[in-house]
A and B are shown apart, each in its own frame.
Chain A
Amino acid sequence: DVKVTQSSRYLVKRTGEKVFLECVQDMDHENMFWYRQDPGLGLRLIYFSYDVKMKEKGDIPEGYSVSREKKERFSLILESASTNQTSMYLCATRSGAGEQFFGPGTRLTVL
């Protein structure tokens, strides 16, 4: 089974802090994704990566950056956290067959 792990289930940070969310997958998938999930808005794509050191902006990249130095690890960075970034963050990978596999999510609260 594909396993996607995220470094934290719950995280509380203060406004202005730099926040790192880590995601690791064990299936050698090339494509990895970061989403945020908000009630009534579904999942919105922040960034994705289709190879090591390659990244593309999704629908809502503002205030975020990403890093993919190794194939199995995809990091989401909030450069200066703000209260409107309080959300559930989901990491996913994608298989060659097209379906995505999600991590358990990180619920981030910015005070």
Chain B
Amino acid sequence: AQSVAQPEDQVNVAEGNPLTVKCTYSVSGNPYLFWYVQYPNRGLQFLLKYITGDNLVKGSYGFEAEFNKSQTSFHLKKPSALVSDSALYFCAVRVPISSGSARQLTFGSGTQLTVLP
């Protein structure tokens, strides 16, 4: 079974400082990894994904994430946080197996990011 852990329910950071939102995963096989963001009263928006290749993935709104296979982590980062980055962030994993049940994403519990002005 695949699983995702986001160890922090809440992350606070000052505007202009770097931010990190942590994610670790557990799968059998090579994972597909995703980050999504949810603004208040909205659906989830795709930020970035890792499928294969370069371990550092760049995504929307200046976010990036680093795939670390040895630590089974996929932390989300941004060099300089904005107040508008305040939102709920979800990490997700999928294993690319052909069987129907493996088409699903498994999501973490979410991390609420608050950027303080």
- Residues of A near any B CB (own CB < 8 A): 4, 31, 33, 35, 40-45, 48, 50, 56, 58, 90, 92, 94, 97-105
With a cutoff of 8 Å between Cβ atoms, the chain A residues found around residue B108 in the complex are: 42
Q: Pick the contact of B107 from A31, A42, A48, A99 — CB < 8 Å?
A: A42
Which residues of chain B have a CB within 8 Å of any CB of chain A? 6, 9, 32, 34, 36, 41-46, 49, 51, 90, 94, 100-101, 103-105, 107-110
Question: In the complex, are the beta carbons of B110 and A98 less than 8 A apart?
Answer: no
Contact A50 B46 (CB under 8 A): no
Chain B, interface SS category: mixed
Q: A43-B90, A44-B107, A105-B42 are in contact. List 19 more A-B contacts (CB 8 A).
A: A4-B43, A31-B103, A35-B107, A40-B110, A41-B109, A42-B109, A45-B104, A56-B100, A90-B43, A97-B49, A98-B51, A98-B94, A99-B34, A100-B46, A102-B36, A102-B44, A102-B45, A103-B43, A104-B43
